[in-house]
Amino acid sequence: MRKQIVAGNWKMNLNQVESLQLIEALKSTKNTSRAEVLVAPNFTALAASVEALKGTNIGVAAQNMHQAECGAFTGEISAQMLLGVGVNSVILGHSERREYFSEYGELLSAKVDAALNHNMQVIFCFGELLDDRESDQHFDVVTEQLTESLFHLPAAAWKNIVLAYEPVWAIGTGMTASPEQAQDMHAFVRKTVADHYDNAVANNCPILYGGSVKPANASLIFSKPDVDGGLIGGAALSADDFTAIINAI
Ligand code: 13P
């Protein structure tokens, strides 16, 4: 059976002290799910978060990384640096990285390669803009995003890939995709992966949904057969809401 995952992307919120407070609150709420749970604090809080979550069933992911091993890239963080503080999962291709930092296809493909070379788990985000959906281009846009950054990988590399469909129009807007819209896209993505590789690769790959997931809509979205969990933004900043979403799986 494929993995189910609920990951909280804290984005540029919470300093180290606040991150540790949220972690303590998460540790004291009851998460009864079989799903893998991850939180993604900002870089400065990663090491302390790993330490604080030792012995729990909550893991830590980074929100981005650079593709080079090391060198003159002022302000950047490498895979080795993440591994050095005990972080072996990384979110890549988030729409905010695409939109505000011009991280697209080829660059993302290099980042994916770097993370996989270090045996890290990659949570690869993709999704269409509202215009794309309204002009019925959403399946084409998503196919292109996957093709540009992931379809050069050998089949074996997919054991460390988690996909996260995040329609840009649903992120932080309160306008979540309907469970049917999510299911349609996830089924399409799974078929696209199967066509490029095979059914085994496609059926083993978790596909998360992200975009205004809240306690009130999580269980309906997660009930869809091709939705294997969620990537949660705003609601992950509340221990009660995040735990309710985890327990909705
Ligand atoms: P929201 O849950 O705040 O819409 O954010 C989703 C997201 O971008 C997770 O990566």
Q: Is 196:175 a contact under the CB 8 Å cutoff?
A: no
Instruction: Indicate which residue's Cα is closest to atom 2 of ligand 1.
Output: 233
Q: Is 208:228 a contact under the CB 8 Å cutoff?
A: yes
CA of 234 to the centre of ligand 1 (A): 6
- Per-residue pLDDT band for 197 (boundaries 50, 70, 90) equals very high
Residues identified as active-site: 94, 166
Percent of the chain with pLDDT over 70: 100
For the chain, helix, strand, coil in percent to 5 are 50, 15, 35
pTM across the whole model: 0.97
Lowest-confidence segment of 121-130, 169-178, 213-222 by average pLDDT: 169-178
Instruction: Provide the pLDDT for residue 10.
Output: 98
Instruction: Provide the pLDDT for residue 31.
Output: 77
Beta bridge partners of 91: 123
Tokens linked to 116: 């996989």
CATH number of the domain encompassing residue 51: 3.20.20.70
How many domains is the chain built from? 1
Give the structural domain span for 156: 5-246
Section 131-152 average pLDDT: 97
Quick check: CB of 230 below 6 Å from ligand 1? no
Section 140-168 average pLDDT: 98
pLDDT of 47-104, one tens digit each? 999 999 999 999 999 999 999 999 999 999 999 999 999 999 999 999 999 999 999 9
Quick check: CB of 166 below 6 Å from ligand 1? yes
Q: Bin 123: left if φ > 0, else alpha if -120 < ψ < 50, else beta.
A: beta
Quick check: CB of 213 below 6 Å from ligand 1? yes
Atom of ligand 1 nearest to the CA of 96: 8
Nearest-angstrom CA–CA distance, 148 and 117: 18
- pLDDT value at 45 more than 80: yes
Atom of ligand 1 nearest to the CA of 95: 8
